Structure 1
Amino acid sequence: MIEGPYFVLVVLAALACGLVAGAFVAFSTFVMQGLAALPPAQGIAAMQSINVKALTAGFMTVFMGAAGLSAVVAVVTFVLWPDEGTVELLLGSALYLFGSFGVTIAANVPRNDALAKLDPQAPESAERWRTYVSEWTMWNHIRVGASLAASASFILALT
């Protein structure tokens, strides 16, 4: 059984991954749809602003904290190799680190960087915006699933 500081670490990782999943699901279920319904120039400008604000301490603490906690859970699991929950702990760590954090770095951030360079008023930006919304949201769905599955996996390890 997982006990003591290790238990607290896993609970914190589960909570952090769940919080990130919640933030991502909000974007997948209504934020991106709302932005896509705006005229392209307004949607682009709004998302450019959101992307700047996402880098502030509030979200980044949770997002990066979940990555750090997941990495520490993986390392501690390899060191302690508990009798129970090992697969769930390693799976939860991998799901968050690769499926959420990794996808963010490899897929969503490059799209955000390209969007930041767009002039919202330029005529060619409208088509790029439609492509951005579609691709970014698809990758975000993956982040939702991975973060939620990581949280569930950590919880299963504790049961």
Structure 2
Amino acid sequence: MSDRIVNSLTLFSTVGSGLIAGIFFAFSVFVMTALVRLPPAQGIAAMQSINIVILNPLFGLVFGGTALACGVLAITSCFKWGEAGMMYLLVGSIFYLIGSFLVTIVFNVPLNDALAAVDPGSAQGADLWIRYNASWTAWNHVRTIASLAALVSFMMAFRQIG
């Protein structure tokens, strides 16, 4: 793969992981805190709405596109092992693919699906909301840290290969 393509994918992955880290950080620091302060029915309804609205092409491009770029960079780094920055590319790609993308698919999405299926005003909804907040937010902290670690790794790689 040409150096120009690797540089472009590294830049894209740097920006993408930074944007995703920012989104996850915002949820961990203030969005979920604000939603928990609402009555359960309102918090559930707000999060259900957020989970629908976030599924848009722009978010998909950043979240999924970064995962795709990371997959290509991880493979490329293995073939170019020993060259400047390849260790950082591999580490950044692993942080993003496992800590951000995979954690989202395995943990956060099923929690979102369970929340989507509940009536916000029901007793079942209120019970689920308590468990949802604790678990979803904990996994979101993992995604935030992993995305930040990916960002730093890609910045280090870019310094060496750029």
TM bracket, shorter-chain basis = over 0.9
Report the counterpart of residue 108 of structure 2 in structure 1.
108
Report the counterpart of residue 66 of structure 1 in structure 2.
66
User: Could you list the runs of 5+ residues in structure 1 that have no partner in the other structure?
Assistant: none
Note the alpha carbon deviations across 1:104-127, whole angstroms, 9 max, x for none: 011000100100111111123212
Note the alpha carbon deviations across 1:45-67, whole angstroms, 9 max, x for none: 11011101111112111100110
Report the counterpart of residue 130 of structure 1 in structure 2.
130
Q: Percent identity?
A: 48
In the alignment, is residue 93 of structure 1 matched against residue 77 of structure 2? no
Tell me by how many angstroms 1:158 deviates: 2.0
Note the alpha carbon deviations across 1:136-158, whole angstroms, 9 max, x for none: 00000000000110011011112
Report the counterpart of residue 48 of structure 1 in structure 2.
48
Partners of 2:92 and 2:154 within 8 A in 1 = yes
Tell me by how many angstroms 1:4 deviates: 2.5
User: Could you list the runs of 5+ residues in structure 2 that have no partner in the other structure?
Assistant: none
In the alignment, is residue 8 of structure 1 matched against residue 8 of structure 2? yes
Partners of 2:80 and 2:86 within 8 A in 1 = no
Report the counterpart of residue 84 of structure 2 in structure 1.
84
1:3 & 1:97 partners in 2: Cα distance?
22
Paired residues in the alignment total 158
2:4 & 2:56 partners in 1: Cα distance?
32
2:5 & 2:89 partners in 1: Cα distance?
15
1:15 & 1:72 partners in 2: Cα distance?
16
The amino acid that maps onto 2:102 is G
1:71 & 1:3 partners in 2: Cα distance?
16
